[in-house]
Structure 1
Amino acid sequence: MMRIRSNKYGLLVCSVVLVLAVSINGNSITCKSRKSPCFLKHLYCPVECPSTTPSTSASKVCYLDCNSPLCQPQCRNRKPNCNSPGAACLDPRFIGGDGIVFYFHGKRNQHFTLVSDYNLQINAHFIGLRPAGRPRDYTWIQALGILFNAHSFSVEATKATKWDPQIDHLAFYHNGFQLPIPQDYTSSWESSDRSIKVERTSAANSALITLSETAEISVNVVPVTKEDDRVHNYQIPSDDCFAHLEVQFRFFGLSDRVEGVLGRTYRPDFENPAKPGVAMPVVGGEDKYRTASLLSPECKLCIFSSPAAGVLNEYPGVKNYGGALDCSGGLNSGNGIVCRK
C-alpha cells in the first residue's frame, strides 16, 4: 500500500505501509506492520507451534505473533503462568515487569489498585482471614475491577464451600450488568465497540480478557488447598475454601508514569524495594494504592483520567443508571448491590 503526503516544504513524499499476510491451512491471516501495536492473534486451525501441536482442549494454544517479521506462530499457556512477569498468584505473590518477585499482602475485604494509567485502571478486591495471635491478614485476590476508556468491567471468583473443579466459579460484569457467558471453552463475549473481549479458555474457571491494544489478562480460579493450609497454617474454615484468582497480565504501551502495586514495576525508572535474597520479600504501599471500591478510579497515586466508565448502555430495555456499579464485591463487600442482566 502506497501513501502520498506533503511535507512541511510542500514536497510530495511517498511512504510504503507494510502489511504482512500468511496463509495457514488455507486460512489467510493479515497482520499489521511491525511499527504499530498488534496483539497475538488466535489461530483456529491446526497449526504446528514452535515446540508442540496443541489442540483446542490442550494446555497450550497457538497464536500468530504479529510483531514478528513473518507472523510466526508461538505457543502460550491457556492459564496464567505464575512464574512469569505480570503474574499475581497465591497470597498474593507478584512478579513485576522487571522480573522481580515480591509479595503485597494488603488487607482483607479492602480494594487496592494494581495498575493505574491514563486510559486504564485495574483494582483488586482482597479476601482473607487473620487467625488468632497472627499480626497480619492472610489475603488473596478475589476479584478484578477494570476501568478502560468508557467501560467498566469486573471478574470475580465466587465463593465455594467445597472445591469441585467441574463447577464454574467465574462471574463477569460489564457496565453494571452480569454477562451470561456459557460454561464452555469455546464461549466468548465482546463489547459492541470490540474494545473488550472475554474468551473462556477451559470448560470452567479459566478465561482470557482482552482490552483492545492495551492488555491481555489471563485469569484462573483456584481454592486454598489442604496442602497450602497445612504448610502455611492458614487455618482455613470448613465452610469456605477461599476461592480466588490466579492472574497474569500482558500489557501493551503503558506510559512511563504508570502507577499501581504492579503497574509501577513497568516504569523505566522504577527501583524495586524488594530485598534480594529474602525468601518472601514484602513491599508496602497499602496507603498509596488503597481505593474505595472495586471500580473506583481514585487512590493517592492514581492517574486514570479517561471518560466516566459505565456510560455505554449495551443492554436495550434495561435501564443503565450510569457510573460504575460495583457488582463484584461478593457477599462480603457490604455494598448491597446485586446485578443481573
Structure 2
Amino acid sequence: MTVLVTGAAGFIGYHVAERLLRDGVRVVGLDNLNSYYDVRLKEARLARLRGHNRFAFVRAALEDRQVIEDAFAEHRFTHVVNLAAQAGVRHSLEAPRDYIDSNIVGFMNILECCRHGEVAHLVYASSSSVYGGNEKLPFSVSDNVDHPKSLYAATKKANELMAHAYSSLYGIPTTGLRFFTVYGPWGRPDMAMYLFLDAIYAGKPIKVFNNGDMIRDFTYIDDIVESVVRLVPQAAAPDPGFDPKAPDPATSWAPARVYNIGNSRQEHLMHVIGLLEQATGIEAAKEFLPMQPGDVQATWADTAALEAAIGFTPDTPIEEGVRRYVAWYRDYHGK
C-alpha cells in the first residue's frame, strides 16, 4: 500500500499521515504550505513526518496539474486520502476564487489522476457545512443537502457530486467524509478553540458569535483519524439495495459513499468556553456578537452509517478532549 495524503502539513492530514506511517504504510504527503494561517505550524507538523523513513513529500498545490500528474506517475499510489482544500467559511466571503482553484479545479485533478492511475480507493474530505440551512437534527447522510449557506459549503457539495460522477462513469471507489468541528493537538489557528486560547492567554476578549447561542458537535482528532484509517482499505462498493425510484443520498448504484464523522453529541458553546477556562485557570473576557454570514446555529452528527461500515463510533468526551488540547497548546507555545 502506498498512500497519497494531500494536505499533509495541515491539521487532519498531518495526523492521518502520521498514523499511517506508524502502521507501517508508505506515505507520500503533498501540501502547498500556503499562508492561510501561520506557516510555522505547518512546517512543525511536516518536520515530524519527515522523521519517518517511509515518508516522502511533494510541495505543490492541487491546482498544479502537471506536478500532481508527475507525482501519480512516479509513486503509483494504491490509495488516495485527499484532505487538502481551502478551508474556512468566513474566508470564503473574502476570497471566493481561492475555493474554486483548490476545491474544484484541484479536486478535478485528483479525480483524473485516480482515474488514469487505477487507484483502489479515493477517500476525500467533505464537511458538515454541506448541511447548510437544514434544521432537522441530527444531520443524517440520507438528508437532502441542496441549501448551502457559504461558497465553501457549495464546493464541498460539488466535490461529492464530482466524486459520484467519476464512481459512476469509471468505477472508481470514492468515500466522502463530512467532518464535524474537529479539534485537538496541532489544530488550526483559525478554528474557535485555538482563537479562544490565543485570546485568553493574551488577556483579550474572546469573540462569541450569536451572543453565545451556538451548538456544535465537537469531534476530537484521534476519533477522526481512527475513522479515516479504517475506511482507507475498505473501498466503497455499489449498494445492491439502491432504489432509483426512491433514491437515498447516502448510497448509490455506483461505488460511492458519504459518511458523517462527528461525536454524536451537541455541546453548547458557552459550556466549551467554561471548559477552556477551567483547563487554563483563567476567566475569559467575552465580546458577544451577532451571527456571522454563512454560519449555522447548530450541528449534530448522526453517525449510524459510519458505525455500521467500520464498527467504530467517535466518542472522546469533550471534557477529556479539551484537557488534552489545552495541554498541547501550552506546551507548543511555552505557556
Q: TM-score by structure 1 length?
A: 0.24
Structure number with higher helix proportion: 2
Structure number with higher strand proportion: 1
Q: TM-score by structure 2 length?
A: 0.24
